[in-house]
Amino acid sequence: MLRFQNVGMRYGPGPEVLRDVSFTLPPGSFHFLTGPSGAGKTSLLKLMYLAHRPSRGVITMFGQDVSTAQRDALPLLRRRIGVVFQDFRLLDHLSALDNVALPLRIAGVPEDRVTNNVAELLAWVGLGDRLEARPATLSGGEKQRLAIARAVIARPSRLLADEPTGNVDPDMAQRLMYLFVELNKLGTAVVLATHDLHLLDRFKFPTLRLKGGELRVAPAGQPYSSQAS
């Protein structure tokens, strides 16, 4: 379970970018995260994957209060979280296969399973013929799919995806969404930040709606227009 209780966040001495944010995400849930540019979506995701600590309030994750946890306890918690960044953060000196294999190798998975699982997933996202390609040779959409494959390969407890369908065509966007849904059915809790209203209409999941640093939760199936009011 992930729980935020009256959480505020600011960068340095500046004003709070998130104010009194409170919500609970049950294990195995699926939520969209929406809101206009500057609403605080990226800052909220940073708190969720432990890149930042809150300025105030309490965040409980995997049964621990991570707001006050010792710094050396955070890496083990981060291993349970898959993240799809907008800037991909791929390792340029590694092949596509080795980029995706990294989480499995860190976890000590036997190499024969690593190779088979990675090759199968890369084929599924349309990169089966680019196993040895370096990120610099890939298009933006291919990098996006590679970053998604790396984030989901180890079946994390929680997946955080920042605009994961933003650089792919509509057919691939739908295919990637089905990948997230299937991963969710296997038990991974998913939070997907998006501006794509078609996804909100097609996939009826609850929505975390941010506006001006404040958040409210809209139930599944509620029209987006009424969320924005």
Q: How many CB atoms lie within 10 A of CB 172?
A: 16
Q: Which residue has the higher pLDDT, 181 or 225?
A: 181
Q: Does residue 128 register a pLDDT over 90? A: yes
User: Using an 8 Å Cβ cutoff, are 217 and 209 in contact?
Assistant: yes
- Residue 195: both structure tokens together: 């501006």
pLDDT at position 18, please?
96
Question: Higher pLDDT residue, 15 or 221?
Answer: 15
Here the tokens at position 180 are 């997230």
Higher pLDDT, 94 or 201: 94
pLDDT given for residue 223 in this prediction: 58
Whether the predicted model's global pTM rises above the 0.85 cut: yes
